[in-house]
Structure 1
Amino acid sequence: MSGYNTRSKQAADSKQVVVNGDRAVNDAIADAIDKISEGVCRRVTETLEKTLSRMLRESRASSTAVASPGYEYRPVSYEEIAQVKRALPQVTWRSCPRGHLYAVGECGSAVVTAVCMECRQPVGR
């Protein structure tokens, strides 16, 4: 009997129409609410799992992208970028269309086209 009371209260709390005194109707409404809640939770969980899995794959792919033969690219922190900028004051710093930094040496103008190591967008020229 306590399960019936709990489910009836849940149905009432969720603003569902409950017919007082009709146990079958109350049970049907409570069951419908349970099924809807389970379905929504399942879909949200599946969506989150897919999104997190995709983000992890993309993160792994970007952190192991090959910069050039024999080297690997690894994302750097803002602190590391600041240290490199201080160590190389003669270098001109530019950013790709998505805002990732890259260095241009010598005259400060890009004379070749390359790709951003973070997003693979064309940079230079």
Structure 2
Amino acid sequence: LDPQARHLMWERLQMLLQQGKSILLTTHFMDEAERLCSRLLVLDHGRKIAEGRPRELIAQHLEPEVVEVYGPGALALAEAPAHEGLRALAARVEVSGETVFFYVPDAQPLLQALAPMHPLRTL
């Protein structure tokens, strides 16, 4: 869904919840699950890997900040031995397409280390 339709759908689901209805929601978006669900069941390849309240699961399984890095040379950050120090700042590092995701407890040290690395871009 486009962002506008997604928010409209959220409003409709919220109305149903306020009426006391139960909803079984399937989503890959944690922000959506957190907004609409009081309890979550996380599946991986059809097997339950976690269950609980959204805030509890986020605190237990996700780092509070994610730094997205893209641009020429970004993929080398995830693999090259020269960038091992950067990777050590993150709890985990993932690559999707041409973007590297650093999951960190605090983004500032990583952003400071990345700042001189032009033309990399961060979000």
* TM-score after normalising by structure 2: 0.22
Larger RCO (alpha carbons 8 Å, 6+ apart)? 2
Considering fraction of residues, name the structure with more helix. 1
